[in-house]
Amino acid sequence: MRYIVPAAAVAVALTVGASAAPAASQHHQKADQHKRDKRPERAKSHVALHLSNHDLLAGNGIKVSGKVRPGGRHRVRVVFKGPEAGHRGVTTRANGTFALRWVPKVTGNYSVRAYGLHDRHTKGSLSKARKLTSYRLAGASWYGPGLWGNGVACGGTLLPGTLGVANKTLPCGTKVKLRYHGREITVPVIDRGPYVAGREFDLTYAVKQKLGFPGVGTVMASR
């Protein structure tokens, strides 16, 4: 019997230990579930974005501002896509608003969008894309009468209704956005010229009319 009793005791201990292990595991699982249940659910968020200007000269800055709802301090990433791509990070004020200044140094068309980053309290969100164009000043003139019916360097025939510009170096078909006194138009490069010092673009008659361009002067150009 002196050998049987210890063996029985060991068997009982093993049985107790085996039954206690699942119980402990279940306890920890319930505790973890309780913590998850108590964790606050992230609220939906909304981020709005505004630009102080949508047309500006390269080297000039714009104010990029917006607001994240619900209010509070949130992290926001503002992403710039275009000839000069990049992003900026900012933290909102207590009321959810944010603002920064951005200076595009390269001409062209840009898209700006704000991303509200998710945190413990809110889900991530993104704003609508806002567009802007960075221009440079360029000397221009126009041509057409007396040349209608002639071919152009990039192919095709010059007519009174032809929309396009002549430029000495930009590849044929390059889209150029032109702005003059509040009017703007986007047209392709269709010809070569002008060959007068100080002038970079020759506008067709139709482009001249749409811009209200007088004849010789300075336009804002995206290229």
Q: Which residues, listed in sequence order, are joined to residue 75 by a DSSP beta bridge?
A: 91
Per-residue tokens: 159 = 């007519």
Q: Structurally, what CATH architecture does the domain formed by 46-128 represent?
A: Sandwich (2.60)
Which of these CATH numbers, 3.30.420.40, 3.40.50.10330, 3.30.300.30, 2.40.40.10, describes 135-221? 2.40.40.10
pLDDT, position 4: 47
**How far, in Å, CA of 96 to CA of 43, rounded?**
14
**How far, in Å, CA of 125 to CA of 114, rounded?**
8
pLDDT, position 208: 97
pLDDT, position 1: 44
- Tell me the H-state helices in the chain: 4-38, 205-211
pLDDT, position 116: 85
Per-residue tokens: 101 = 């200044």
The answer for residues whose C-beta is within 8 angstroms of residue 159's C-beta and 6 or more apart is 148, 149
**How far, in Å, CA of 120 to CA of 40, rounded?**
8
Residuewise pLDDT in 10s, the chain (223 residues): 444 455 555 454 445 555 555 555 665 566 555 555 555 566 787 889 999 999 999 889 999 999 998 888 889 999 999 998 899 999 999 999 999 999 998 999 999 999 987 766 667 788 999 999 999 999 999 999 989 999 999 999 999 999 999 999 999 999 999 999 999 999 999 999 999 989 999 999 999 999 999 989 999 999 9
**How far, in Å, CA of 99 to CA of 24, rounded?**
53
pLDDT, position 101: 95
Which residue's entry shows tokens 């010059």? 158
Give this prediction's pTM.
Answer: 0.71
**Domain chopping of the chain, boundaries:** 1-39, 46-128, 135-221
pLDDT, position 28: 59
Per-residue tokens: 114 = 């704000």
Angle at 53 between CA 141 and CA 63, to 5 degrees: 140
End-to-end CA distance of the chain: 102
- Side chain identity, residue 101: R
